[in-house]
Structure 1
Amino acid sequence: MSMSYGYRMYTFEIFKERAWKQQHPLHVEHEDKPDWRYIDYLNRISASHVEQSAHGFPPRMDGTSRDQDIDNVPVFQLLSLSQNGDAIRGSFRHGRPSGHSIALPKKSLGPDAKPIDISDYSPTREYRFAFQFPDPGNTGLLSVEAVSGACPSRYLVQWARWWSQSYAEGRDEPWYNLKAFALGDAIQVQQFIERGQVIEVVLIAGAKKASRMRRTEEFRITSTLDVQGKSKALRDLKKVVAANKTDEDLAEELAKVLGRNVEEIDLDDGYVVLDTEYGRHHVSPSRIPDVFTYPIASERPDDDEFYREVKQRARKMSTEVDGSFNFS
């Protein structure tokens, strides 16, 4: 089985408890006490969780447990965490029950090696990661290793949120919600769009959030289009994304493809459903999929090579983030 090793890039932000819109600074200055920095905080709250296995997803933000079959959910284990300047590097294991029963030994182990029953175990892989913090700024960069297309970054992010909630219990201080957002460079985004096939376009009018959990719409229009229309929709998508325009701008362009009756409607959201090598995705300026992997090698790189590649890419992409970074 051929393997591939690389990494994915994200921006990350923090939000104070259940605040949804207002970012919390990654660095808070104080006159009468030491400054508060999320880099120090994350290092502190994570230390006690090294080599502790966690199964499935953590409890919800309100503390309620999830409905999970604990023996059949993925397992997560933080392996290491180290702070160096404006960066935190570490690694974790992740895997899931595979349905396999017996593992047979490699031939190189010789004839005396015995099969091992793994029916009650979850095979795991190790993934490395790096947080790069701005100075100053409220948005950082996160790199997470990808192995043959798998990149379980959301487990790292969600458990970091739960560690913060657990740490805050019994202490007179808030907890912080870590959020990560997929980041792809302009060339990679355009290549992703070009390689996709348009399945349909969706236009939405009157879209708004009735509450944090519920979204309302006046109506939506879905069209599969003809061959010519699909080509035009793909060109419009590329143009709007390249120009850093909004979902509303995309809806306006797509409405022209559908004709005058649609073009005259006051639309405020739209996206294109693409069939890609990664499966079907809804794509618009705000819906860039979490699939962009930067390859390194077909064999697992050592730590020096991995973090060197990550640093070089982060330095290039830091220009797309509002903040100043020190990569020394």
Structure 2
Amino acid sequence: MNEDHGQSPTIVVQIGGKERMATTYGYRLFKVELREGFGRSSVDFSKCKDEHYLDVASRLLQLLMSTQVGRPLLRNNLSIEDEIDPPEGEVETFSGQKAFQVISEKKIQWAIYGEVFAGLFSEYEVALGVPGRTEDRELGDHAPSKRFRFALILPEEGTAGVLVVEVIGRTCPVDLITRWLAYCSQQQALAEEIDEENDKEFRPARAKAARWWRPVAQAMMDNDRLLQIIKEGRFGSVELVKHEIQSDRTRQKVKFKLKAPAVDEGVVKEVTAAIKTWFNERLPSDTADVRKISSNKDGAKTLAAIFGADVANLDFDDGWVQVEDEAGRPTNISPSRMSEIFTYPLSVGKKVDDETFYYRARVTYGQLSIAAKIDVEWPELGKTV
């Protein structure tokens, strides 16, 4: 170990449950661009065939107002006849799958405001009823879900928009929103390519002609917020993890974990430098395609090296630094988790109203829009405090 740092990671074994904290609420902001199919070039939102993408998205969101299961696959040979839901009766296949459903969508000028349900099958076994009022309910084939608000604001013409998504605890369903929008767009495009009279079965070769749209969301990074976190020194632990592949080669499990319970003054400078590097790698850049973006394994190597050769030689494949936000909520930072520290807190224990939620998000957008190179007209929802 490197004695100069005065810090020794220790193996931590957790026994029993965690102390439950009140639910925190906040939001994240994302820069949104549009791709045609699997293309890498940005598409003008006003040039989706003969309509604006906002109209396309509104129509697709309406199609998603029923429960969707899992994370849909986007592939060129996807048949429009593939079933989205697991076969009826095979409840065990739902276990661990994400559930997603659009509750509402409302188009206002160049924005869509909406809400979605997101949850996880088999996360809980039973919903206990109120004594004398409601019965207990088995949840084996139900996914307890939370309601999340979102807003998609796009330019009338241009290639950069903004997506704000509510965060509850540490959950933010941005990937479900963008992925299901892309999947539905692909399915519609493939359906349009089929001549119903002469071509009853899908032929993969025809998928190349189908034009569909894929929204891409990138977290809007806030340098001032990062510097404030570093300045206040809200660092907690540093954790390093080594995984091993299960026998079926489809899952990983933790082989062992090392944890430095606190970041002392001896390593603050090096931990800060690592975080700044990960942050800068994720910033928008004209040369983004040729820059090296660190993986979580790269980040683990960087953190392990801070504690000397003995730790670095253990070949960790994941690692993170824990920090606390303004609400005292711990958040893990690694190369792929950078967006988590850019969750803007709103309340603890109780949601704020819609007007406050969207107003606060709009103010934050105003602070970040120039650096993110986004220029949209954000429709107000009445509250202008």
Normalised by the length of structure 2, the TM-score is 0.61
The reply on whether 1:308 has 2:359 as its aligned counterpart is: yes
1:6, 1:294 within 8 Å by CA — same for their partners in 2? yes
The reply on whether 1:275 has 2:356 as its aligned counterpart is: no
Match of 1:57 among 53, 71, 76: 71
Equivalent in the alignment of 1:167: 188
Q: Secondary structure at the match of 2:72?
A: coil
The offset of 1:26, in angstroms, is 1.4
Equivalent in the alignment of 2:218: 181
Equivalent in the alignment of 1:102: 126
The letter for the 1-side match of 2:70 is G
Equivalent in the alignment of 1:292: 342
The letter for the 2-side match of 1:313 is T
The letter for the 2-side match of 1:56 is G
- TM-superposition CA deviations, 1:172-194 (whole Å, max 9, x none): 55101111111232222234555
1:91, 1:128 within 8 Å by CA — same for their partners in 2? yes
**Structure 1 170/182 Cα, relative in aligned 2: closer, same or farther at 3 Å?**
same
Q: How far, CA to CA, are the matches of 2:167 and 2:136 in structure 1?
A: 29
The offset of 1:291, in angstroms, is 4.0
2:331, 2:340 within 8 Å by CA — same for their partners in 1? no
Q: Identify unmatched segments of 5+ residues in structure 1.
A: 201-226, 259-271
**Structure 1 279/6 Cα, relative in aligned 2: closer, same or farther at 3 Å?**
closer
Match of 2:57 among 8, 31, 42: 42
Match of 2:145 among 124, 127, 132: 124
The offset of 1:89, in angstroms, is 0.9
Q: Which moved more, 1:89-98 or 1:230-239?
A: 230-239
Q: How does 1:126-275 map to 2 (within 5 A)?
A: 126-171=147-192, 174-192=211-229, 195-196=234-235, 230-234=267-271, 236-237=273-274, 274-275=320-321
Q: Secondary structure at the match of 2:367?
A: helix
Q: How far, CA to CA, are the matches of 1:70 and 1:138 in structure 2?
A: 39
Q: Identify unmatched segments of 5+ residues in structure 2.
A: 1-20, 87-91, 194-209, 240-263, 306-317, 324-329, 380-385
Aligned length: 276
The offset of 1:56, in angstroms, is 0.6
The reply on whether 1:90 has 2:109 as its aligned counterpart is: no
Q: Percent identity?
A: 22
Q: How far, CA to CA, are the matches of 1:308 and 1:236 in structure 2?
A: 34
The offset of 1:236, in angstroms, is 4.0
Normalised by the length of structure 1, the TM-score is 0.70
**Structure 1 15/249 Cα, relative in aligned 2: closer, same or farther at 3 Å?**
closer
1:130, 1:143 within 8 Å by CA — same for their partners in 2? yes
The letter for the 1-side match of 2:227 is Q
Q: How far, CA to CA, are the matches of 1:103 and 1:199 in structure 2?
A: 36
